[in-house]
Homo-oligomer: A and B are copies of this chain.
């Protein structure tokens, strides 16, 4: 019998490898992993508040400020005063932001398709959705 590897270790090892493979594409498009995660989340839906956005991507609200500052300066997201609450600010993707995240993801998906056949990948992801 071969030694049973811990699930956490196995998943972490594979995740590290996949993230490393994504890295060159993120760099090519000039975004960090956290920025990419944030843009992906905003593409799904605008964030009513920054706090909600921070929670959604599992990021610290105080670190989110600098992240948003950078993305806003580069014209990828906008911060607007929220409708009902003057303390809060809605965060939205700009057209440029939407284009950036979409083209980045397209290349990352292409990279993944080179790793394993599309059918196998889809089956694996369906299986992992149970978690």
Contact = CB atoms under 8 A, between A and B. Distances in A.
Interface string A92-114: 00000000000001001100100
Interface stretch (A2-10, A48-56, A60-68, A75-83): A2-10
Given A3-B44, A44-B3, A124-B127, A19 B15 contact: no
B11 A18 contact: yes
Contacts of A124: 127
A7 B121 contact: yes
Interface string A6-31: 11111110111111011000000000
Q: Which 4 A-B pairs have the closest CB atoms?
A: A8-B18, A11-B15, A12-B15, A15-B15
Interface of A: 3-12, 14-19, 21-22, 37, 40, 44, 58, 105, 108-109, 112, 115-116, 121, 124-125, 127-128, 130-131
16 contacts: A4-B109, A5-B125, A6-B109, A6-B112, A7-B18, A8-B21, A8-B22, A9-B40, A10-B125, A10-B128, A11-B15, A14-B15, A14-B128, A14-B131, A17-B131, A127-B127
